[in-house]
């Protein structure tokens, strides 16, 4: 067999392998699915719930999810902001996702309106964290009292 013909046979195999590996890569996506109360009040607690999709891929391995503590969020002493899970196997007809609930205090000096909050996440084979930003709606009810 000529050298050129060998390469023509190997090329489709390589393309199929690359497509398979790409399909198996861990692809996480995050959304904030709830804020309670809406709007939040400065100085009070707010519950926020995030959903991480893509955790059903065994290629992800261990998944790390963190809500970042920065203005306008204040964590209580000893409160953990990290959630760690192992990816799960896919179950037919069931959606596999991580639900990440947090109960945190809103800074007493938080401004009215949408305030950005940030999460970071990664999976075992990825050394770098990815980040996503969401809006936390805040309304200072004391400002309404005259």
pLDDT at 20: 40
The arrangement of strands across the sheet holding 73-74 comes to 29-36, 45-53, 97-106, 73-74
**Rounded CA separation 126/75 (Å):** 27
Does the residue 93 lie in any domain? Answer: yes
Q: Which residue did the predictor score with more confidence, 91 or 130?
A: 130
Say yes or no to pLDDT of 52 above 70: yes
Q: What is the pLDDT of residues 59-117, one digit of tens each?
A: 899 999 999 999 999 999 999 999 998 876 556 666 778 899 999 999 999 999 999 99
Bridge partners of 29, per DSSP, are 53
Lowest mean pLDDT among 16-25, 101-110, 117-126, 129-138: 16-25
**Rounded CA separation 122/83 (Å):** 11
Q: Which residue did the predictor score with more confidence, 3 or 115?
A: 115
Does the residue 37 lie in any domain? Answer: yes
Tokens representing 41? 């009040």
Tokens representing 67? 């809500």
**Rounded CA separation 18/117 (Å):** 37
Does the residue 19 lie in any domain? Answer: no
Return the number of other C-beta atoms located less than 10 Å from residue 128's C-beta: 7
CATH code for the domain in which residue 44 is found: 2.60.40.10
Does the residue 58 lie in any domain? Answer: yes
pLDDT at 18: 43
For 99, what's the count of Cα atoms within 13 Å in the CB-facing half-sphere?
7
Domain count, the chain: 1
Does the residue 127 lie in any domain? Answer: yes
Does the residue 16 lie in any domain? Answer: no
Look up the domain containing 101 and give its range.
28-144
Helix, strand, or coil here: 112? coil
């Amino acid at each position: 067999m000529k050298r050129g013909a060998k390469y023509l046979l190997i090329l489709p195999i390589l393309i199929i392998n690359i497509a398979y590996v790409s399909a198996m890569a861990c692809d996480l996506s995050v959304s904030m699915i709830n804020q309670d109360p809406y709007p939040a009040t400065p100085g009070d607690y707010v519950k926020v719930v995030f959903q991480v999709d893509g955790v059903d891929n065994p290629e992800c391995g261990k998944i790390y999810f963190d809500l970042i503590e920065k203005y306008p969020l204040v964590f209580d002493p000893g409160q953990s902001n990290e959630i760690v899970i192992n990816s799960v196997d896919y179950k037919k007809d069931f959606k596999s996702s991580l639900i990440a609930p947090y109960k945190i205090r809103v800074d007493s000096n938080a401004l009215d309106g949408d305030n950005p909050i940030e999460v970071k996440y990664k999976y075992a084979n990825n050394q770098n964290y990815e980040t996503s930003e969401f809006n936390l709606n805040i309304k200072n009810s004391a400002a309404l009292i005259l």
